[in-house]
Amino acid sequence: MIDMKNSTPIVEVKNLYKSFGSNHVLKDFSMEVSPGENIVVLGKSGSGKSVLIKCIINLIQADAGLLKILNQSIQDMDEDEVDQLRSEIGFLFQSNALYDSMTVRQNLEFPLRRHWSTDHRKQGAEKAVLEALTDVGLAHTIDMMPAELSGGMKKRVALARSLILKPKVILYDEPTTGLDPITSREISELMVHVQKKYNATSIIISHDMNCIRITSNRVIMLIDGKNYAEDTFENLKKSTDPKIREFFD
Amino acid sequence: MLKTFQIEQNEFLKEIGNIARFTGKFFRTVIKPKQEYKEFLNQCFWIGFKTFTLVGITAFIMGLVLTIQSRPTLVEFGAESMLPAMVSVSLIREIAPVITALICAGKIGSGIGAELGSMRVTEQIDAMEVSGTNPFKYLVVTRVMAATLMVPVLSSLANAISLYGGYLGVNIRGSVSWNLYWFQVFDALSFGDLIPAIVKTFFFGFAIGIIGCYMGYYSKKGTEGVGRSATTAVIVASLLVFIIDLIAVQVTDLLGLT
């Protein structure tokens, strides 16, 4: 069990606001994530879940509020500092975002270009790529193109790419969307395995109840742009609040 | 109706402003250290080598057709011997660079627009950013630089190939020796013809690259947006080629190079 009270949060979001024109997506959203935790953010489609993790990694700039990752405020950093911080964060995109003109190997080597020296890459890239692919059970696909892979395999390769730099925090944007229930469960179990092996902290955006049940230590309900409720999956499941019940019924 | 026109006018001006800002960002980024040489060479290959066949065939036909069509008029004035000179000046100064640029606007502009557009809508550009790579430098700077460099190379090759086409055209109805043809061609040309024609192709290449990248980089609305980016890139880049050509003619004229 993770001791949340005695640990400094690895991700801290305070009073976050984000609007797109007149559409106020995040309104005073706050949350804290402790090291080693697997947090799931649950909310309806269009509730701002993806916007939230894109704000955390600074792909989208928040309008107001505080965002701290690994005890550093990402909003106050210059471009180079943000790039450096991003080497500590893995991001699994909903669409996988594999570079379709590159092989699996090149996809995995890509993040190393910026963060490893040429000598380091020459000596260690092959090993790192193989290790990450082995972790997701796809070492044999190393020279394949993304177009040759199935949906589940693409997801695994994308996960391997986000693990290549051994990140401390991994952000998952709807990792099981579009997958069949069996593959979805495999990916969820893989996420738990990866979290244990890399001792990483995960923030998972999902509305797949099976995925949430398997992966979460804690669930945050994002409703009306706010952190409406947070608790374990089992406790939230027992809730009588109609807004929470909507997700479980 | 007036309101719709005003809205469209505002959108048009906003788009011009955005393109100017994008171009500014290009110049700010290009001078930053750690260049992406490998990707730049890769793009030179795709833009230059892969477009060469299309440009070459078009240039050859262009030279041939221009010669065949000009012949009757010159014959009418008894100036048939001027044919190589007239064809060479027309091709080198205007036709070959502009047609090459238009072909490049179609092939390279749409290619870049569609490629970057598809990368944008499938979040590949975001994935690059998250991995710590500057996608603007990796994708935009390399493509714009490659287009700026390769369009003049293609245009120069088109010049040469179109003149070969001209030689064939001259000899379909008449009989001009190889040596005489080339003597007349080079005799009619001066550096005042050649230099401005080459210089403007750098601007053509830059415009094609920057418009293709801009349209693709900010592509929206899924696959429909990708198609729209590619089409708009071709239209705007082609239009810019003519505008640049017009400006180049005026500048050349002002400098007394005509």
* A64-86 per-position pLDDT tens digit: 999 999 888 888 888 888 888 88
| A43/A50 Cα distance (integer angstroms) | 10
Residue A214 lies in a domain: yes
- Cβ distance of A115 and B134 shorter than 8 Å: no
Query: Residue B221 — pLDDT band, cuts 50, 70, 90?
Result: confident
Q: What are phi and psi of B180, to 5 degrees?
A: -65, -40
Residue A64 pLDDT? 92
Residue B2 pLDDT? 75
* Residues of chain B with a CB closer than 8 angstroms to some CB in chain A: 119, 122-124, 126-134
> Which residues in chain A touch residue B128, judged by CB atoms under 8 angstroms apart?
99, 110
Q: What is the CATH number of the domain that holds A164?
A: 3.40.50.300
CA distances from A243 to A29, A82, A130, A220, B252 (A): 17, 37, 45, 13, 72
CA A3, distance to chain mean position in Å, is: 21
Residue A146 lies in a domain: yes
- Please, what is the angle between helix B142-173 and helix B83-90, to 10°? 160
Q: What are phi and psi of A223, to 5 degrees?
A: -130, 135
| Amino acid in position A215 | T
Q: Which of A46-55, A161-170, B171-180, B238-247 has the highest mean pLDDT?
A: B238-247
| B130/A93 Cα distance (integer angstroms) | 10
Residue A171 lies in a domain: yes
- Cβ distance of B130 and A89 shorter than 8 Å: yes
Residue A173 lies in a domain: yes
- Cβ distance of A97 and B134 shorter than 8 Å: no
- Cβ distance of A93 and B127 shorter than 8 Å: yes
pLDDT of residue A247 exceeding 80 = yes
Quote the minimal CA–CA distance from B122 to chain A in Å.
6
Nearest residue on chain B to A56, judged by CA atoms?
A: B130
DSSP symbols for B161-206: HHHHHHHHHHHHHS---HHHHHHHHHHH--HHHHHHHHHHHHHHHH
Judge whether B70 and B172 are in contact, CB under 8 Å.
Answer: no
Nearest residue on chain B to A164, judged by CA atoms?
A: B131
Q: Which domain holds residue A160?
A: 35-58+83-248
Residue A105 lies in a domain: yes
Q: What are phi and psi of B183, to 5 degrees?
A: -65, -45
Of A83, A94, A97, the CB nearest to B132: A83
Q: How many domains does chain A divide into?
A: 1
CA distances from A111 to A102, A158, A160, A170, B240 (A): 13, 12, 11, 15, 37
Quote the minimal CA–CA distance from A120 to chain B in Å.
17
> Which residues in chain A touch residue B127, judged by CB atoms under 8 angstroms apart?
91, 93, 97-99
Q: Which DSSP state fits A76? A: G
- Cβ distance of B126 and A97 shorter than 8 Å: yes
ipTM of the complex: 0.86
- Cβ distance of B132 and A87 shorter than 8 Å: yes
Judge whether A135 and A148 are in contact, CB under 8 Å.
Answer: no
Judge whether B19 and B210 are in contact, CB under 8 Å.
Answer: yes
Of A79, A84, A110, the CB nearest to B131: A110
CA distances from B225 to B10, B12, B54, B156 (A): 21, 18, 27, 35
Pairing state of beta strands A64-69 and A38-42?
unpaired
Of A83, A86, A93, the CB nearest to B123: A93
Quote the minimal CA–CA distance from A197 to chain B in Å.
21
| A221/B210 Cα distance (integer angstroms) | 44
Buried-exposed string B198-215: b where 16+ CB fall within 10 A, e elsewhere: bebbbbbbbbbbbbbbbb
Q: What are phi and psi of A184, to 5 degrees?
A: -60, -45
pLDDT of residue A2 exceeding 80 = no
Of A178, A168, A199, A96, nearest to A138 by C-alpha is: A96
Residue A5 lies in a domain: no
Q: Which DSSP state fits A63? A: S
Interface test with B, best of A114, A115, A164, A173 (most B CBs within 10 A): A114
Predicted TM-score of the model (pTM): 0.86
| Amino acid in position B255 | L
CA distances from B248 to A82, B196, B200 (A): 43, 8, 6
- Cβ distance of A95 and B130 shorter than 8 Å: no
Residue A4 pLDDT? 52
Residue A116 pLDDT? 82
Residue A5 pLDDT? 54
Residue B225 pLDDT? 86
Residue B258 pLDDT? 64
Q: Is B28 exposed, middle or buried (0-12, 13-18, 19+ CB in 10 A)?
A: exposed
Q: What are the extents of the domains in chain B? A: 36-254
Judge whether A64 and A16 are in contact, CB under 8 Å.
Answer: yes
The torsion defined by the Cα of B44, B163, B98 and B195, in degrees rounded to 10, comes to 80
Residue A153 lies in a domain: yes
Write out pLDDT tens, residues B57-86. 999 999 999 999 998 888 888 888 889 999
> Which residues in chain B touch residue A100, judged by CB atoms under 8 angstroms apart?
122, 124
Q: What is the mean pLDDT of chain B?
A: 91
Of B119, B122, B132, the CB nearest to A86: B132
> Which residues in chain B touch residue A54, judged by CB atoms under 8 angstroms apart?
126
Residue A65 lies in a domain: no
Buried-exposed string A121-132: b where 16+ CB fall within 10 A, e elsewhere: eeeebeebbebb
> Which residues in chain B touch residue A99, judged by CB atoms under 8 angstroms apart?
119, 124, 127-128
Of B124, B127, B131, the CB nearest to A114: B131
| B144/B44 Cα distance (integer angstroms) | 10
